[in-house]
């Protein structure tokens, strides 16, 4: 999957290192080694509008048909904070807060996400969103 042009030469959208060393390799086909890395790469994919990556890393049992990332008004993603991440065998969880704006109004998405590893590959399954 070709990398989109973006303003993230210095820092990855997920807050990690440079995009080229952080999430870009996953967006181009490398497998994230942990639920946290998968979640971070999925956050970056939301920022960059990489719907195909998001769908490919979503477990088939819970994956929607499409995401409508181009729907107006678009979310402007502002930042990510990972509060907790752990894995035990082929299951993992990540708790995070993602900040974004829609139409000038700020929002926080706080989620406790569940992940599963199948055939050596991590997938996002679902999550509980805090109110």
Q: Where are the domains of the chain?
A: 24-130
The pTM score is 0.90
DSSP alpha helices (H): ranges in 28-100? Answer: 35-48, 51-56
Burial degree of 115 (CB within 10 A; 0-12, 13-18, 19+): buried
* pLDDT at residue 8, as a whole number: 62
* pLDDT at residue 4, as a whole number: 47
Sheet with 121-130, strands from edge to edge, namely 75-88, 91-102, 105-118, 121-130
- The domain over range 24-130 is classified in CATH as 3.10.450.50: yes
Low-confidence residues in the chain, pLDDT < 50: 1-4
């Amino acid at each position: 999957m070709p990398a989109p042009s973006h303003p993230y030469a210095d820092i990855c959208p997920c807050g990690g290192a440079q995009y080229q060393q952080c999430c870009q390799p996953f967006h181009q086909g490398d497998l994230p080694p942990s639920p946290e890395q998968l979640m971070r790469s999925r956050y970056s994919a939301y920022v960059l509008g990489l719907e195909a990556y998001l769908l490919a890393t979503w477990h088939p049992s819970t994956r929607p048909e499409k995401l409508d990332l181009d729907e107006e008004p678009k979310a402007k993603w502002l930042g990510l904070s990972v509060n907790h991440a752990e894995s035990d065998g082929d299951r993992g969880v990540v708790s995070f807060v993602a900040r974004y704006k829609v139409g000038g109004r700020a929002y926080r998405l706080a989620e406790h996400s569940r992940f599963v590893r199948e055939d050596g590959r991590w997938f996002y399954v679902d999550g509980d969103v805090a109110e």
